[in-house]
Amino acid sequence: MGTLLDFRMLEARGVLRNSIDTQNLRRSELGLTDLANRNTSRLMGSINQNMITNNWGAPAKRIPVRNKGGGTATTGTMTCTFPVADSDNDFVNVTFFSAHAGFRIIPRLIEQTNGMVSVAEEWAFLFEQTERDIADLVEAQIYTVLNAAKATTSNSTFVGAGLKYPLVGDALQVAAADQSQFYNFLKSIYKADDFGSTGLQVIGDAQMSAFVEQYINQGAQNSVNSEYSFRGIDFSYSNDIVTTSATSAISTAFAMAPGSLGMLAQVSPDAKAGRTSKSKGIEWGTVRSNLMGVDMELMMSDDCNDLTSITANALDTNGYAEYWQMGVNVAIVTPYDASTNSSIKKIDFL
């Protein structure tokens, strides 16, 4: 990391903010990002993680996977004719989602605050806001990937047209009368699709929390005890889960087995090496995003500008300005599953 990058990061650590603007600056929780970070190691081994994060550019990043193999079993005794059954292998291509944003620091403009704001405070504030904007884009992209990977069928006799939970738009439709017991039936649905029912993870929109909190607190002292339906399920929430308007749903969620979502990031070799362009005055560096749990890439440049239109001071024809940009390159990964009844299941509460 370059000298000025180091200095700015060091300064930012001691910055405090006035709490009066906290509500104005509120942001959505990054539930999908958190879920992806918690499951990455369950989804991918260290070898594949290193390949994705450290292999910049060509060759294409492909994870080897296997399809179900072995011979087809038939009734009867063995004969002298040997069956022929070979293993069936494939590759999953890893694609990246990139997002970036930037900001400017003008010390002469900050000086006009008469000490109310320092350069360090301004930098820390703009860094945090920019990081948040990037994180919001990543959160939305995780939703897009998750929605595309959802199951379209189920082996359960509870699921399908005319059954307890119809599939509409590849989402389980849960009528109001069935909602208090739904998550108990969900465990059975996973068993029918050859998944375990232990440790299921559910991430819903903001509305889903109201249902969970209501039914999970219907304990043994109540005439109808629904608490057991929620036992062993990990619930989280994200405002980027889109409530399905096509089915007039009042809440939408995704359920999945552990290890069904992961996220890794990579940064360029220039950022890793902390290179500096002598001719352009550009510095490259990396910084860990506490919001996203991945490494971000930083670039910084400075220049001499006529700032009179910004500061309204006729003397500022030769002002110093810093230009910053930061970005991420993230791979959002879901399990390879050649079937149509994968562990990622979409749910609509009607």
pLDDT in tens, 279-288: 888 999 999 9
Residue 320 corresponds to which tokens in the numbers above?
């110093």
Residue 221 confidence (pLDDT): 44
Cα 152 to chain center, whole Å? 22
Tokens representing residue 155 in the block: 């082996």
Residue 88 token pair: 């069936």
| pLDDT tens digits along 75-123 | 888 888 888 877 778 788 888 899 999 998 888 888 787 777 788 888 8
Q: Cα dihedral sign for 100, 28, 202, 208? A: negative
Give the relative orientation of helices 119-148 and 31-43 as an angle to the nearest 10 degrees.
60
Q: What is the pLDDT of residues 182-192, one digit of tens each?
A: 998 999 999 99
pTM score, two decimals?
0.87
> What is the pLDDT confidence band of residue 7, given thresholds at 50, 70 and 90?
low
Residue 229 has pLDDT above 80, yes or no: no
Q: Where are the domains of the chain?
A: 3-62+93-148+263-333, 167-259+337-349
Q: Is the pLDDT of residue 8 over 90?
A: no
Task: Tokens 């990139």: give the residue.
Answer: 98
The total of other beta-carbon atoms located within 10 Å of residue 340's CB is 11
Report the topology of domain 167-259+337-349: hypothetical protein PF0899 fold (3.30.2320)
pLDDT(336) > 80: yes
| Contact partners, residue 98, CB within 8 Å, separation at least 6 | 327, 328, 329, 330
CA distance 2 to 205: 41
The C-alpha torsion from 73 through 74 and 78 to 80, rounded to 10°, is: -90
Residue whose tokens read 């050649």: 338
**In the structure, what pLDDT confidence band is assigned to residue 163 with cuts at 50, 70 and 90?**
very high
At 281, list the tokens: 């005055």
Rg of the chain over Cα atoms, rounded to whole angstroms, equals: 26
Lowest-confidence pick of 51-60, 241-250, 279-288 = 51-60
